[in-house]
Structure 1
Amino acid sequence: MKTALKPILSAVLVTVTLVGCSRKKDSFINRNFHAVTAEYNTLYNGYNELEQGRKNLNTSYRDNYWAILPVERMQIEEDVILPGQSENAEFSIAEEKAVKAIQMHSMNIQGKEKNPQMDEAYLLLGKARYFDQRFIPALEAFNYILYKYPASDKINQAKVWREKTNMRLDNSELAIINLKRLLEQEELEGQDLADATSILAQAYINTKHLDSALAQIAVAAKTTTKNNEKGRFAFIEGQLYNALNKADSANLAFDKVIALNRKIPKKYLINAHLEKAKNFDYTTGNKLEFMEHLTKLEKNRENRPFLDHIYHQKAQYYLTLGNDSLAQVFYNKSLRENSLDKILVATNYETLGDMSFDANRYKDAGSYYDSTMTSMVENSKAFRVIKRKRENLEDVIYYEGVAEVNDSILNLVSLSKDERLQFFKDYTATLKLKAEEEAEKQAVLEQKKGLALNNAGNTAANTFAKTKKSGANSSSFYFYNDQTVAYGKNEFLRIWGDRELADNWRWSSKSAASNFAALETGSEVDGSTNELFDPEYYIAQIPTDSDEIATLIKDRDYAYYQLGLIYKEKFKEYDLSKDKFLALLNNNPEERLILPSKYNLYKIYELQGRSDAVSIAKNDIITNYPESRYAQLLSNPGLAAERDENSPESVYENTYKLFQNQEFERVISKSNSSISMFEGDAMVPKFELLKAFAIGRLYGFEAYEKAINDVAVNYANTTEGVQAQDIINNALEALRSSEFSENESFKSFKVVYEFQNTADNGLEDFVKTLDESVKKVEYFNLSTSVDVYNKDTTFVVVHGLKSIEGAQGFMQLLEKEDRKKLTRPFTSISSKNYRTIQIHKNIDTYKTIQ
């Protein structure tokens, strides 16, 4: 009987199960089966994946404490997420679980959902999409809950999440409206109230209404049940007070964070201390107590991950008190912590750069600014500011380097033979001492390494001996045992050192560690075997050629002159500028630099209000250089208010007008005389570049390339030098080819008449007749020009023809009477090939291939 009942009971159970699985029958069993299965199977696993994904997001996210923290820790990626793609596998799985719950357990009967877990499923679906940064699909899921399940107990959560999504879609104003309505219509409490008010605070922050955000974040910090959120919201509250310049209230908020102590992540606690430190009142605060507090934070072993910020704050303290040396120490200590906070690193470097700049250490400042830019977002506003600072230092760094190097060399040149020998004996003795110290350190390291190898080797030897004694089944062949092989290698290294695999490997010269071996045996490094320890090696490199020495002096003097100008005009450092000009004059420089230097000294004394020095400098210039334009300006101050027609600027403008009129020979001649006349003036590079352009137009590509290279090399640190280098990098290669193209492949052509540059060439009459003739041609928009080809030839060119045949038959376009007047031979050419002949001056080559 019992046996007969078993199949019956099994059939009944299967039937009940199948009936209960139906999603189309509204019964107690069906509803509860699908609700329980969805809640404790699919949705449970989905929420587990969601939480794991959120933890991963929090772990990878780095807060920027230099700005107001966002309420939610979530890094928004700039890349667009395409359908089917996902940034996080956990969120994809969570979404799949939500979809599976909906597909397998939804009971939509006669337009009504009978499974009470479906609102949870859609909420999970929206959250998974939200964290996967697919905000439009997430918004659809949350809106579906609001539309389909208005009586759900999750309706308020859905509304909050919908507004979070709206904010991510840059609809903060809409989020504010909806969240305010929610708070007015519903009596939220606990975590629901904290979620709503915190998101509303974020929306206000996004729209720059910080006072409104402050009220909401305070409610959120008070009502949230999660300690992490308590700490974060209180910290944001303090930041908002700081943004509103309410330091006392901010400190009270940060005290709330500090009071939570170990209940919150350490980063909130330390940054709360640091934010309070930033608010320290240096006029009324207890400085001793404040420094003791920072030192206590520094010495706490638990705070080691935050030493970069603690050191930075101590540096700020010393900088504010004017103790620059200690400030510099702590900025450098902060940098040595290898901080991952790029803003902190950039701030440290920038501050050190500013300190060096203020101390007139411009070369150091330039290096610090270079380091600053490596830690900044390229092309950001802050980056561009630092870049401009660095570019302003380019010239001073370059010329300071030239002056320093050349002064050092010239100082050695001026020493007697015995003085040189003694100088380099002292220098090489120092080098030798440093080398011995370094070798000694290396020897100690090698010795420690050898002891470690010996210990390992002894272990291997003992193992090898035990293996032999035991007669183990494993092979006793030496190379089959890893430990004995290691022992053998270590013994070889200990006895022979690191030898190259080569013939005669036993020779001592093959040892890579011979210096270390020498030290171990007590001998010293032999300076005679190394030319770097030989004074004669350095003495031999001191220049003796008079031309080379003269070049060094000339470059040094020019660097001094440029430094004087830069310090005076760009940095307003008049004492530094004065020192450079005086040092230059004491060096007995070239005549061309003396007068400009004296005039600049006169202007510096005038700016400093040193009337006696002004009178002396003025009389010196007027007496000794009466014909100069400087003497004229000093004798007749009224000229200074007007544009002196002999000033560099006026001369350059006139020369440029000559260039526009294609008077290239005059441009070159005028530029050469102006370069000599105004040597040392900031306008000289402009004349050089203009001359290079004129050379190119007159003599062709090769001459132009050489001229533009000269400007780039000789004036590398000027705007014109940079422009010349840009031409070399980006334009010269496109101009280099002198090959001609097929005329038929173009749609713009010219007719070219050649005239020799002689007094009676008849060019003007020809141009007049040609202009009158082309005006009568109705079917083409023709024009003419007179173009210089080279110093011997000028072209008269007709523009506007559309084909090579039209250019070749140009005369047929003219009236019969005009053809009789224009009987000169001409060349038909495309605009592209005309450009080539002007660049390379090769019209004769073009004629031979036509």
Structure 2
Amino acid sequence: MTLVTSCSRKKNTFISRNYHALAARDNILFNGYNALAEGRENLNANYTDNYWEILPVERMQISEDVTLPGQSENQNFTRAEEKAVKAIQKHGMNIQGKEYNYQIDEAYLLLGQARYFDQRFVPALESFNYILYKYPASDKINKAKIWREKTNIRLENDELAIKNLKRLLEQETLKDQDLADATAILAQAYINTQALDSALTQIDIASKATKSNDERGRYRFIQGQLYNALGDKDSANIAFDKVIALNRKTPRVYHISAYIEKAKNFDYNEGNKLEFLELLTDLEENRENRPFLDKIYHQIAEYHLKNQSDSLAISYYNKSLRTDTNDNVLKAKTYQTLGDMHFDVSEYKMAGAYYDSTMLHMVTNSKPYRLIKRKRDNLEDVIYYEDIARSNDSILNLVSLSEADRITFFEAHIEKLKVEAEKEKERLAAAERSKGLIAANNNSFGQKPSGLSNLKGSRGNMPPGQGSSFYFYNQTTVAYGKTEFAKIWGDRELEDNWRWSNSVKTGTNVNTSVAESVIASEEELYDPQFYLDKIPSDEKIIDSIAKGRNYAYYQLGLIYKEKFKEYPLAKDKFKQLLNNQPEENLVLPAKYNLFKIYELLGEDAEANIAKNDITTNYPESRYAAILNNPDAANFSDEGSPENIYKNLYTKFTNQEYAEVLSKVDDYITAFEAEEIVTKFEFLKATTLGRYQGFEAYSKAINFIALNYANTEDGQQAQEISANVLPNLAVKEFKTDSTTNNYKVLYSFNKTNTEEVANFTKTLNEVVANIAHYDLSTSIDVYNPETTFVVVHGLKSLEGAKGFAYILKEKDRLKITKPHIAISSQNYKIVQIHKNLEDYIESLKE
């Protein structure tokens, strides 16, 4: 009893103070700090650094998920917090407002750290502030101040943290790890505020003061990154050399990353390339570096790319990707580089595939993602028109050959097919032999009992492809299956109805465009006549192919010029177009675009020739006007497509539909090479809908969707076709009780314009004298033969019928025309489908 009472938390005795201090330190806090250390190890193990950016001083992944009270992503931190709270509750000696247990400040420090790593920064800040408030004489006061500023930085209070840390460093003489922690976190605050030069000084002090080689390697690496960000490559390389000198004292990832960063700083003009390649090769061949081969291969690829050894670069980029790296930034950069390389050599399909892979490994809706997506979307047009140009060029080339040359060409093609077939036969035979060896190896393992244990033995104990019985675990059988599928079905897209013959992907070279666009028997594949029969002979078809080829070349020239700024490529496409003797409406725009490209490339002599050609041979054109007087001539003149479209649209709004339709086709032909042509097509479609009804509108919209599929307006037409037309197709009239908006129609022959004008004038005079109604009138074109005069603003069908009857009775001498009462929604159906007769019949039922 004496011992128990002497250890009371309410008595300030020597025995009480030391008992509770020792019990808190050696039991509860000891276990709490162990849990905290385990939690931090888990954090470090699960954290992935992005070495493409300046590393953070502290490794901790901030979660965007909201954590509810009582929940934690790491139970070690919860346990550490519980231990800290237990130490405070069971061993705290707060007597008359003063704490006599000298370990309680340590407990509050543990409590704040546990909350900090659990990403509950506001409660953590309260714990550190409590130490500063209640224990000003504590030996942990500086550590609490440092942790408070770490928490402030996590709360994005960087300026406050800088102010407090600078004051701490000025007022206190910090040593060893406290100095390292204070200067490192101050460097982080400077990095966050983009004061990189100030961060350099602090991170250097931290790297010298820390007792941890792990931290020293990280701080030196950050120092090198900061020098690189400031453009001082020599100082950066010195910092990276210090990381490399630590060798196995610091984590291997810093060691290898320092080599990679030094390689990025290599001077290809002045440096010794042979020594540099030997260094990279040594890194590649070192067994310790196997976990980092993705970065090493990528850097070797960069070396070969800078030396213009494109094939070697592509090989090493692919090696980097095959390591199955977890570095998404590295994957994105590699795929993007490969895409750019294929784009530069006009392999647009392959470039598009690489850009697709690039976007898969980027942060969605980030600025780099949007840039790649825009380039990929633009590439869609390039792929589309390049396919047309190459395919049609191939066909026209065959058309131009003599009969003998055609036979010679296809005989050579057949010989290649036979060689490839023989190679495939040998490969399949080798695959069969390999299957036999695999089966023999499987049998050598002996028979196992059926059941779950057998499944485990056949799959769980052997890697895929090595004796595994499951089809997709055996690489040989998978490869054989792919070959057999391609042999039977050809190259198919992953889509619905893939078995249809028109699902076979056609190539862009001569062989695929002519020979492989249809499925043929083996006998036909080796018969030249089979291919000869596929060559078109009808002049109309040949002209159509040539016209499509020419339009594709024109569009490619525009895309390269306007979207990609690839002026040499654009120049080649326009020159090829002009050499093909294109249609007249493409000649002048192509020549004008060539003139602009010559100017952009600084080829003044060529630009003058192109200018003189336009002004001499096409003096009345708007292009000549622009070239002769660039300041005065612009595209707002009366003959410009924009003004023509504007005037035609004004006629449309005035319901001059016949006038619009009589001219729009001429303008579509005249401006076929201009982007505005799709606007004329849309205007035509809408006019047809208003004038002739739904069927004509639907046909015109589908025409735009098919023929301008790769333009923005074409995609809009596809959207209308998929989502709007099905709703407009409904012909059934609505029940009149479902609406409160009605009209009265008076029908006239469209040619009687004077009668319509007089009747409308009379109707307006009569309607103006009717009280209690907010009525209005309009003249609506129904079809080429009929015009409606419409009264708007009636609230019910009976009201509409009664209004028209009363109007007729009161103004017998003025309003004698027959009338039709109709709801607004049914009037819309009548105008869309031009089915007024059906509506009149429905009223009789």
TM superposition score normalised by structure 2: 0.81
Name the CA shift for 1:219/1:532 in 2 (closer, same or farther; >3 Å). Answer: farther
Shift of 1:281: 3.1
The answer to whether structure 1 residue 429 and structure 2 residue 415 are counterparts is no
5 Å-filtered alignment, 1:368-407, equals 368-407=354-393
1:101 equivalent to 2:87? Answer: yes
How far off its partner does 1:71 sit? 0.9
CA distance in 2, matches of 1:480, 1:164: 57
Q: Deviations over 1:312-371 (max 9, x none)?
A: 333333444555454444334333333222222222232333344444544444333333
Matched, 1:663 2:652: no
Q: Which has the larger radius of gyration?
A: 1
Shift of 1:814: 10
Q: Distance in 1 between matches of 2:38 and 2:225?
A: 30
Answering whether residue 606 of structure 2 is matched by residue 610 of structure 1, we say yes
Q: Does the Cα contact within 8 Å between 1:238 and 1:251 map onto a contact in 2? A: yes
**Deviation at residue 391 of structure 1 after TM alignment:** 2.7
Are residue 678 (structure 1) and residue 671 (structure 2) matched?
A: yes
Write the letter of the residue equivalent to 2:553.
Answer: Y
Residue in structure 2 matched with residue 273 of structure 1 by the alignment: 259
Alignment RMSD, CA only? Answer: 4.2
Is 1:456 aligned to 2:419, yes or no? Answer: no
2:346 pairs with 1:353? no
Q: In the alignment, is residue 791 of structure 1 matched against residue 784 of structure 2?
A: yes
Q: Give the secondary-structure state (helix, strand or coil) at the position aligned to 1:610.
A: helix
TM-score (norm 1): 0.80
Shift in Å, 1:311: 2.8
- Contact 1:749 1:829 survives alignment (8 Å): yes
- Whether the aligned pair in 2 keeps the contact of 1:106 and 1:113 (CA below 8 Å) is yes
**Which sits farther off after the overlay, 234-243 or 105-114?**
105-114
Cα drift, residue 272 of structure 1: 1.3
Query: Could you list the per-position Cα deviations for residues 170-198 of structure 1 after superposition, in whole angstroms to 9, with x for gaps in the alignment?
Result: 21122222222222232221111211221
Deviation per CA, 1:634-668: give whole Å up to 9, x if none.
Answer: 99999965755344333222222222323233223
Equivalent residue for 2:278? Answer: 292
Task: Trace 1:238-253 onto structure 2 (pairs within 5 A).
Answer: 238-253=224-239
Provide the C-alpha distance between the structure 2 equivalents of 1:147 and 1:611, rounded to a whole number of angstroms: 79
For 2:116, which of 124, 127, 130 is the aligned residue? Answer: 130
Structure 1 residues 420 and 25, CA gap change in structure 2 (3 angstroms): same
Q: CA deviation at 1:100?
A: 2.9
Q: 1:237 to 1:107 in 2, by over 3 A?
A: same
Query: C-alpha displacement at 1:808, in angstroms?
Result: 6.4
* Further displaced range: 62-71 or 734-743: 734-743
C-alpha distance in 1, partners of 2:451/2:57?
63
**Structure 1 residues 60-459: aligned runs within 5 Å:** 60-412=46-398, 414=401, 416=403, 418-419=407-408, 422-457=411-446
In structure 2, distance between residues paired with 1:756 and 1:657: 24
Farther-moved stretch of structure 1 (643-652 vs 188-197): 643-652
Q: Which residue of 2 aligns with 1:506?
A: none
Q: Using the TM superposition, name which of 211-220 and 662-671 deviates more.
A: 662-671
Q: Is the 8 A contact 1:429 1:533 kept in 2?
A: no
Deviation of the 1:260 alpha carbon: 1.3
Partners of 2:316 and 2:692 lie apart in 1 by 61
Give deviations 1:132-179, integer Å, cap 9, x for gaps: 212222222222222233332222222222222222222112222222
Distance 2:20 2:730 in 1: 80
CA distance in 2, matches of 1:57, 1:529: 62
Asked if residue 712 in structure 1 is aligned to residue 739 in structure 2, the reply is no
Shifted more, 25-34 versus 798-807: the winner is 798-807
* Structure 2 spans left out of the alignment, 5+ residues: 459-468, 472-479, 485-519
CA spacing shift, 1:711–1:201, aligned 2, 3 Å: same
Q: Could you say which residue in structure 1 is the equivalent of 2:752?
A: 759
Partners of 1:424 and 1:538 within 8 A in 2: no
Going from structure 1 to structure 2, the CA distance change for 1:671 and 1:177 (only over 3 Å counts) comes to same
Change (3 A) 1:145 1:672: same
| SS class of match (2:101) | coil
1:671-750 equivalence runs, <5 A = 671-741=664-734
Q: 1:264 Cα shift?
A: 0.8
Kindly indicate whether the alpha-carbon contact (under 8 Å) linking 2:200 and 2:223 is maintained by their aligned counterparts in 1: yes
The structure-2 alpha-carbon separation of the partners of 1:710 and 1:195, relative to structure 1 and needing over 3 Å to count, comes to: same
1:69 Cα offset (Å): 0.8
| Alignment-mate amino acid for residue 276 of structure 1 | K
Q: Residue 340 of structure 1 aligns to a residue in which SS?
A: coil
2:652 alignment partner AA? F
CA distance in 2, matches of 1:243, 1:603: 39
User: AA paired with 1:218?
Assistant: D
Query: In the alignment, residue 427 of structure 2 is paired with which amino acid?
Result: E
Q: Are 2:595 and 2:607, in contact at CA under 8 Å, matched by a contact in 1?
A: no
Q: Which amino acid aligns with 2:98?
A: K
Provide structure 1 residue ranges, at least 5 long, that are not aligned to the other structure: 1-14, 464-477, 488-497, 501-510, 516-527
Q: What is the deviation of 1:232? A: 1.0
How much does 1:715 deviate?
0.7
Q: How far apart in 1 are the matches of 2:711 and 2:349?
A: 17
1:235–1:633 CA distance, 2 compared to 1 (3 A): closer
- Note closer, same or farther for the CA distance 1:23–1:748 as it changes in structure 2 (3 Å cut): farther
In structure 1, how many angstroms separate the alpha carbons of the residues matched to 2:167 and 2:815? 89
Are 2:29 and 1:43 equivalent residues in the alignment?
Answer: yes
1:539 equivalent in alignment to 2:531: yes
Give the CA deviation at 1:291: 2.9
Q: SS of 2:445's equivalent?
A: helix
The answer (yes or no) to whether the contact 1:46–1:97 under 8 Å persists in 2 is yes
How much has 1:827 moved relative to structure 2? 5.5
Query: In structure 2, how many angstroms separate the alpha carbons of the residues matched to 1:167 and 1:334?
Result: 37
Q: Contact 1:564–1:580 at 8 Å: present in 2 too?
A: yes
Distance 1:189 1:758 in 2: 101
Say if 2:615 and 2:624, in contact at 8 Å, map to a contact too: no
> Could you tell me which residue of structure 2 aligns to residue 645 of structure 1?
638
Q: Which has the higher mean CA deviation after the structures are superposed, 116-125 or 819-828?
A: 819-828
Q: 1:407-442 CA distances to partner (integer Å, 9 max, x unpaired)? A: 334545656474365134313212212312321331
2:53 aligned counterpart, secondary structure: coil
**Bigger shift: 811-820 or 757-766?**
811-820
The 8 Å contact of residues 621 and 630 in structure 1, kept in 2 or not, is answered as: no
Structure 1 CA distance, aligned partners of 2:821 and 2:140?
84
Q: Deviations over 1:41-97 (max 9, x none)?
A: 332222222211111111111111111111111111112222232222222222233
Structure 1 residues 127 and 833 mapped into 2: Cα distance closer, same or farther (>3 Å)?
Answer: farther
Partner of 2:512: none
CA distance in 2, matches of 1:813, 1:112: 99
Closer, same or farther: CA 641–733 of 1 in aligned 2, 3 Å = closer
Q: Distance in 2 between matches of 1:349 and 1:53?
A: 36
